[in-house]
Amino acid sequence: MTNETFDLKEHPHSRLNILTGDWILVSPHRTKRPWQGKVEASQMDERPEYDPNCYLCPGNKRADGSDNPDYKASYVFTNDYSSLLLNTPDGGLNDDELLVANSQRGICRVISFSPRHDLTLPQMETPDIRKVVDVWQAEYQELATYPWIKHIQIFENKGDIMGCSNPHPHGQIWAQNSIPVEVAKETRQQKEYFEQKGRSLLGDYVKLELKRQERVIFENDHFVVLVPFWAVWPYETMIVSKRHITSLLYFTDEEKAALAEAIKRLTVRYDNMFETSFPYSSGMHQSPVNMGDHPYWHWHMHFYPPLLRSATVKKFMVGYEMLANPQRDITAEFAAEKLRNLSEVHYKVKE
Ligand code: H2U
Ligand code: ZN
């Protein structure tokens, strides 16, 4: 016991993730030491605009033997090694409620973001990112026309430490006949809040963050970009729509342009953090499809980057984190301040 007053900046504490109901342990006293961010000699990551051995470049052959067209913007195809398959029979296993399994059916697609092999989202022009947003919207719309599809996960793995197999800028979409675990948690939490208060959980959360200005990195007319109060990864962020929109299906033209702008500004800041092509997994969370109304769902996008102190020092989820719950040292507020102070001019285009 002590007479000190509790302070989020000083004292170990747990924080609630209102979106999932999970908790995270924050140990801010461990970062009394000064900022240890280190910029390493930039890896000479010079890639050609076109790579004849890349399965995503225009005109090249893919694993299934087909040839990519000579595409000019984005290109979508069915994953040749799909994790979910269209023709899986219904069924499962339930032996005494102890051995339980359910058949999973789905469609997996790959989206090449650009014909250029050498670009990443932060290096693409905002109007070209906008075209990717259009493709995401069209894919979500088209996949939702399969009445058995319940959830559509749009995501990107960037960087080989995230398990990305190819540097050519691309993302994936997995659509399936059930609601995956993280999305089920977020559905439950948003529904509970909406039923109690009659308002969107994230709508209220974003208003509070804009008022407090502790974790907001930047905003534009339609989106707020922030480090969530409950962030697990050191520089984890979220893009949240200001309007209560259940899915990207309802984005206006202005909103799509604003989302492209937000993605560009955020990912450029990420690259500038350690002057490296910043790895992350990112993805949208939004309303399930073909399951009736989900008025409580509020569209948002998560970025989960693994880097901690430099281009090579990453956070590992081990020990206490595997067995109890996630833990972090640098606070969400500290991370937001770092990201806020970074330039929006990509380090590679600086003179
Ligand atoms: P990553 O984002 O994890 O690198 O995934 C790229 C996907 O591309 C991966 O799921 C697929 C892999 O199955 N792929 C094809 O669909 N065709 C190919 O010719 C090679 C890789
Ligand atoms: Zn390529």
Sign for the CA dihedral angle at 94, 99, 105, 106 comes to positive
63 lines ligand 1 (CB under 6 A): yes
Q: Which two tokens stand for residue 298?
A: 């509020």
Would you state the pLDDT for residue 206? 98
What was the pLDDT predicted at 312?
87
Measured from the Cα of 55, ligand 1's closest atom is: 19
The mean pLDDT of the chain is: 94
Q: How confident is the model at residue 331 (pLDDT cuts 50, 70, 90)?
A: very high
More confident residue, 349 or 237: 237
- The predicted model gives 51-72 an average pLDDT of 95
Tell me which residues are annotated as active site: 170
Task: Return the H-helix or E-strand segment holding 300.
Answer: strand 300-304
Query: Which pLDDT value is given to residue 350?
Result: 66
Section 147-151 average pLDDT = 98
pLDDT value at position 349?
87
The pLDDT assigned to 63 comes to: 87
Which domains, and CATH codes, for the chain? Answer: 13-42+180-340 (3.30.428.10), 75-176 (3.30.428.10)
Protein residue with its CA nearest to atom 6 in ligand 1: 165
Stronger pLDDT, 64 or 252, i.e. the higher one? 252
Q: Which ligand lies nearest to the CA atom of residue 53 in the structure?
A: 2
* pLDDT > 90? residue 164: no
| pLDDT score recorded for residue 224 | 98
CA distance 201 to 109: 31
**42 confidence band (pLDDT: 50, 70, 90):** low
Q: Is the CB of 81 under 6 A from ligand 1?
A: yes
Q: Is the pLDDT of residue 38 over 70?
A: no
Cβ of 172 below 6 Å from ligand 1? yes
Q: How far apart are CA 208 and CA 348, in angstroms?
A: 36
Provide the pLDDT for residue 32: 61
Which chain residues have CB less than 5 Å from ligand 2, an ion? 51, 54, 56-57, 117, 168
Closest Cα to atom 1 of ligand 1 = 164
* 107-141: pLDDT as tens digits: 999 999 999 999 999 999 999 999 999 999 999 99
Residue whose pair of structure tokens reads 């800028």 in the numeric block: 169
| Best residue for ligand 1 mutational test, from 53, 79, 282 (most atoms within 8 Å of Cβ) | 79
Q: Is the pLDDT of residue 52 over 90?
A: yes
Q: How far is the CA of 19 from the centre of ligand 2 (A)?
A: 36
The whole model's pTM is what? 0.95
**Which distant-in-sequence residues (6+ apart) come within 8 Å of 52 by Cβ?**
60
